[in-house]
Amino acid sequence: MANPGDFAYTLKQQADIVRIIGEYVRLKRAGAQNYSGLCPFHGEKTPSFSVHASRQFFHCFGCGESGDVYKFLQRIENISFPESVRLLAQKLGVPMPKVQFDSPAEAREAKLRGILVDLHEAACRFFQERLKRPEAAHAREYLKGRGLDEEALARFRIGYAPESGFLLRDAVREMADQELLRESGLFSQAARDSAPPRESSAAAASSAPKQPDREAQPSTLYSKFRNRVMFPICNEQGKVIAFTGRTLAADEKSGPKYLNSPETAIYHKSRVLYNLHLAKEAIRQLDYALLVEGQMDCISVYNAGCHNVIASSGTAFTEIQAKLLSRFSKKIVVNFDPDTAGAAAAERSLGLLIGEDFEIRVLTLDQGFDPDLYIRRKGADAYKQALAHSQKYFDYLIERARKQFPAHTSEGKVKAVNYLLPHIQRVASRIARDEIAAEVAQKLQIDSAVLRQELHHVAGARQTTRVSAPTATGLTEAEPILIRALAGGAGLGQQQAEVSTTSTFTRGATAVSSRQGDDPEFDPQRQVQFVLASERLHEGLASEGLIDALMRAVSEGTDPMSLELADGERRMMAAALMDEHELLTPESLHAALEALRRRKLEHRRRELRSLIADAERAQDSISLGELLREKTNIDKLLRPGQDALNP
């Protein structure tokens, strides 16, 4: 991240985000300070991708991609942050300083990640080599039994982790110190009292020349994976970042059947799709991905000739994975067995993918067959044939509803509809929802009007966060004003400055200073911070979390524009900022705070009404008196024309 004083920060100030993004996306002016175009990160026909000129950030209201110029370059060029800094410097013709990382912490992180990737590569080679040795005969036997030939073993870099816990450690100990080996997730640590004798301490110290003093402790690390068949997990670039180990031991003591690497600096389970590195080109070409549950399934299906296959490893899809996948295709065929443990996760995944606008089909194999077994028993062609007959997601759901609830009784029909409605509700497009409703009505032989009515109700209650319009954020009128005030900096005097200049690429800093002379007392950021901190007027608002985060940033002196926010909040902030058509004035700010005060008083008045009723019932005259007094005061404050801000 770019911080004040950094080279990256200074460079970013010199860059014009509109011009940089304009090299990739055709942008049209959409407002005083913002531009819009078709999002390069998801397929769309109407523009929901916006760029704010003076605040120097972009936001897509369709897919939620958001950030500054570096974030844009990282995403579009698929590069790291340091690389994006280098690229921007190149584009602007600014020479790079010698040091490439902004902070020691970041340099350490980058170095750590580099070493961890090297360690995993070394481990992967080690496991592959061990699989060829005589003591791995049972592993080779197991793999042969699963139908994997030499070619498949090489392609998926499958290996064998030997029984001994120390061989891998000894093989890689030259590459990193003990701390890094621990952080790699490849090793476990023995308890302190069971540490090996002193002699190994001398060996450890002498083999870590970089930090000779730090490793006085005896080496107590041993391999986490022992006597297991090893499946490497790669990132999108094909670098090994984790492993799954399948045990070859029959006894219970050898741990779980499948053992996975823990999360590390390079491995985040929620961000990885198994086999994406091998599948991504085929996914792009065929314009759909085939999703299976387990790694073994994935390997089998790939070997059967379906190269667009990826695996979720039995956990529900995350939003990050959906976005990762959507760069290659927004169509997906899901192959899972609805009666397995992974089915619940798969169904949750489908819900998420539907919400992310994926087009989904479901492939259901004969009961009891997973893809791996199906291919081994019936052959690759049979599998491809089944794949060609995959069902549309809603046909699959309707069938499930029919099986669960007898559709010939009216009670069964109601239950079936209730089962389907939440699924329909997740569909982003209203038109698609209507079509599905009609289909459901027809297939379940329900009077369409009744179902449509129900659906209409559900559609109305649908959360607005998915709708692709910057204004549809469910915010009250006051909230964007507060968000803009708290975001501070550029944009306050912008709209006026814009009138007086013809340059499209007016930069924030100069424009603000030329206009802020109007009212030197007016500091909306500080004012809002003060009022909200003391009165908590934003409590219960949709933007409460965002406003709290902004207030923290203001009080800590960090840049509100570089806050780490949840998707919904980032969207809210972008909507508030992109829509800066009205100038932030002392009057508009006053009115916004006033509106919130009224809202709070009205809320309290409703509370008082029920408290008063309670007190009357309990014949508690003392409380009743107090409550009535408070209510009278509030009534007075809320009288039309009364200013709650200055009572």
Using rule CB under 5 A, residue 55 touches Zn ion: no
Q: Which residue from 12, 42, 277, 413 is in contact with Zn ion, where contact means CB under 5 A?
A: 42
The smaller minimum CB distance to Zn ion, of residues 42 and 226, is found at 42
Using rule CB under 5 A, residue 62 touches Zn ion: yes
Using rule CB under 5 A, residue 60 touches Zn ion: yes
**Binding span for Zn ion by CB under 5 A among 42-50, 553-561, 569-577, 619-627:** 42-50
The smaller minimum CB distance to Zn ion, of residues 412 and 568, is found at 568
**Binding span for Zn ion by CB under 5 A among 57-65, 134-142, 265-273, 536-544:** 57-65
The smaller minimum CB distance to Zn ion, of residues 395 and 579, is found at 579
Using rule CB under 5 A, residue 58 touches Zn ion: no
Left, alpha or beta for 413 (phi > 0: left; psi -120 to 50: alpha)?
Answer: alpha
The smaller minimum CB distance to Zn ion, of residues 41 and 396, is found at 41
Residue 566 CB, shortest distance to Zn ion, in Å, is 17
Q: Which residue from 11, 15, 41, 230 is in contact with Zn ion, where contact means CB under 5 A?
A: 41
Distance CA 61, CA 470 (A): 6
**Strands 289-292, 331-335: pairing kind:** parallel
The smaller minimum CB distance to Zn ion, of residues 265 and 428, is found at 428
**Binding span for Zn ion by CB under 5 A among 29-37, 59-67, 234-242, 515-523:** 59-67
Helix (H) or strand (E) holding 57: strand 57-60
Using rule CB under 5 A, residue 63 touches Zn ion: yes
**Binding span for Zn ion by CB under 5 A among 61-69, 157-165, 268-276, 529-537:** 61-69
The smaller minimum CB distance to Zn ion, of residues 63 and 627, is found at 63
The smaller minimum CB distance to Zn ion, of residues 49 and 394, is found at 49
Each as own residue / partner, the long-range contacts of residues 420-427 (CB below 8 Å, 24 or more positions apart, any chain) are 420/394, 421/454, 421/455, 421/458, 422/458, 423/351, 423/354, 423/394, 423/397, 424/394, 424/455, 424/458, 425/458, 425/459, 425/461, 425/462, 426/351, 426/354, 426/355, 427/354
287: CB partners within 8 A, 6+ apart: 329, 331
In this structure, what DSSP letter does residue 43 have? -
Contact characters 306-345, Zn ion, x per CB under 5 A: ----------------------------------------
Residue 42 CB, shortest distance to Zn ion, in Å, is 4
Using rule CB under 5 A, residue 584 touches Zn ion: no
**Binding span for Zn ion by CB under 5 A among 53-61, 98-106, 473-481, 560-568:** 53-61
Q: Output the DSSP codes for 124-164.
A: HHHHHHHHTSGGGHHHHHHHHHTT--HHHHHHTT-EEE-S-
Distance CA 334, CA 298 (A): 12
75: CB partners within 8 A, 6+ apart: 41, 65, 67
Distance CA 76, CA 95 (A): 22
Using rule CB under 5 A, residue 47 touches Zn ion: no
Taking the alpha carbons at both ends of the chain, their separation in whole angstroms is 46
**Binding span for Zn ion by CB under 5 A among 39-47, 288-296, 483-491, 565-573:** 39-47
Using rule CB under 5 A, residue 440 touches Zn ion: no
Residue 70 half-sphere exposure, CB side, CA atoms within 13 Å?
A: 20
Distance CA 24, CA 72 (A): 10
127 in Cβ contact with 159 (< 8 Å): yes
Residue 584 CB, shortest distance to Zn ion, in Å, is 28
Residue 569 CB, shortest distance to Zn ion, in Å, is 17
401 in Cβ contact with 419 (< 8 Å): yes
Residue 75 CB, shortest distance to Zn ion, in Å, is 10
Q: Could you give the C-alpha distances from 57 to 70, 92, 323, 558, 573, in angstroms and in order?
A: 10, 18, 20, 16, 11
Distance CA 196, CA 104 (A): 35
Q: Which residue from 32, 39, 205, 440 is in contact with Zn ion, where contact means CB under 5 A?
A: 39
Closest residue to Zn ion using C-beta atoms:
39
Residue 258 CB, shortest distance to Zn ion, in Å, is 36
- Residues at the contact surface with Zn ion, assessed by CB under 5 A: 39, 41-42, 60, 62-63
